Amino acid sequence: MRRRRVNRVATISMHTSPLEQPGTGDAGGMNVYIVESAKRLAESGVEVEIFTRATSGDLPPVAELAPGVLVRHLTAGPYEELTRADMPAQLCAFLSGVLRTEAMYDPGRYDVIHSHYWLSGQVGWLAKERWGVPLVHTMHTMAKVKNLLLAADDQPEPQARVVGEQQVVEIADRLVANTGDEASELIELYGAPEERVAVVNPGVNLTLFQPASQGAARRRLGLPQNAHVLLFVGRIQPLKAPDVLLRAASRMLIDDPSLRGRLVVACVGGPSGNGLARPSLLVELAAELGISDVVRLVPPAPQHELADWYRAADVTVVPSYSESFGLVALESQACGTPVAAAAVGGLRTAVRDGVSGVLVDGHDSHEWARALRRFVTAPAWRDGLSAGARAHAAAFGWQATSSHLMEVYAAAVADLNRLPVAVIS
């Protein structure tokens, strides 16, 4: 019987480029996911071409991200950064660029399409029908989930996104969920057929993010050796809830003023999404709470520097209202730094409560202060969590993620063609 090999994947990431610095704009965990999984797929012999919107006239039409991984910059709308609310108006132009690219080659260039986020899913839907190949889609975040868990000052996702996501769910040959919780949300909130939902955990770069001297990391970052460092990493927006950390730190100082000389609250990231409406929010909030002297705001950092921030911290704080997974939590744990995270979404998988960190219910500043205070006052307990964090993160590698993705691709191709598929021959 004829067998077919998956040779090349068309990855669609319309609204954010894998080449952008995570932690600012719309670049975040999804960018890391696309880059790391693409590299591992290429190492396994599957070529990946990533389609994204050009944000500068200086960008080359095609750039090599790694051997076997190409990034294609397509012109769709003005070059300056557009908000995600502006993106639907550029769907047709972006789709045209995707289809023109494929038309330059012999038929059958791509074996499968993998789209990321609902906007890319809309493009993937039409490309799938034109090329006759399966569409695999990863939501990363979902409007219905976000709207159920909104921060008090956040704006709900528009109905157009809800409808767009529903359409992608109905047309996709496979839906990749980051966790079992996300799979349940796809099935229960969007009516996704269970047999088309596959759970593939994201990974962490265990070579880059690994334990090293806390003291050396603090010296490189200019932090006091005796500091109690509470770390936030991510985009500054209501969804990520960095304000929860600042309010908890303020409560800690009220309860124990002697901490003021040693407490450092470091926030690494830039304004994004709804956070762009108040880019100085954390500066203003720190002043209002009277903790400007302990808050350090740091622009988005490259990954090697980010690893130092994790190593320098006593705890990484992830108080998000919603997370499909939470790569920051995994990166921190891989560096041996335990995590205090909100007990929501994928964070319940990324953090093993009581073993690699703690999960906190809700966003009350008193509860968060109580949880964070223990990282300061109980070093032996924290050291135990540090060992658990390293062990927990070691189970998540990008190679495992890419291997599972190849299985998903193979199953989607097999279902479409009714043929057995060899992932790698």
Does 342 show up as a binding residue in the annotation?
no
Alpha carbons 219 and 116: distance in angstroms, whole number: 39
Q: How far apart are CA 74 and CA 276, in angstroms?
A: 25
Q: Tokens standing for 31?
A: 């960018």
Whether residue 190 is annotated as binding a ligand: the answer is no
Is 321 annotated as contributing to ligand binding? no
Is 336 annotated as ligand-binding?
no
The phi, psi pair for 271, rounded to 5°, reads -60, 145
Q: Is 262 annotated as a binding residue?
A: no
Q: Is 15 annotated as a binding residue?
A: yes
**Residue 204 DSSP code:** B
Is 29 flagged in the annotation as binding? yes
Q: How far apart are the first and last CA of the chain?
A: 15
The answer to whether the annotation marks 371 as part of a ligand binding site is: no
Is 415 among the annotated ligand-binding positions? no
Residue 339's Cβ-side half-sphere holds a number of Cα atoms within 13 Å equal to 33
* Rg (alpha carbons) of the chain, rounded to whole number: 22
Where helices occur in 110-199 by DSSP H, the ranges are 118-131, 143-148, 159-171, 180-190
Dump strand ranges (E) for 178-301: 197-199, 228-233, 263-268, 295-298
Cα within 13 Å of Cα(328), Cβ side? 28
Give the chain's length: 425
User: 30 labelled as ligand-binding?
Assistant: yes
Tell me the one-letter amino acid at 93.
A
Question: H/E element holding 341?
Answer: strand 339-342
Q: Known binder of ligand: residue 28?
A: yes
Angle at CA 375, nearest 5°, toward 373 and 377?
A: 65
Whole-angstrom Cα distance, residue 78 to residue 55?
8
The answer to whether 311 is a known ligand-binding residue is yes
Residue 240, marked binder: yes
Q: Is 161 annotated as a binding residue?
A: yes
- Among candidate residues 116, 118, 33, 117, the one with its CA nearest the CA of residue 326: 33
Q: Is 40 exposed, middle or buried (0-12, 13-18, 19+ CB in 10 A)?
A: buried
Is 313 annotated for ligand binding? yes
**Residue 323, marked binder:** yes
The answer to whether 27 is annotated as binding is yes
CB of 39 within 8 A of CB of 11?
no
| Residues tagged in the binding site annotation for UDP-N-acetyl-alpha-D-glucosamine | 21-22, 29, 235, 240, 323, 331
| Residues tagged in the binding site annotation for Mg(2+) | 310-311, 313, 337
| Residues tagged in the binding site annotation for 1D-myo-inositol 3-phosphate | 15, 26-31, 84, 117, 141, 161
| Residues tagged in the binding site annotation | 15, 21-22, 26-31, 84, 117, 141, 161, 235, 240, 310-311, 313, 323, 331, 337
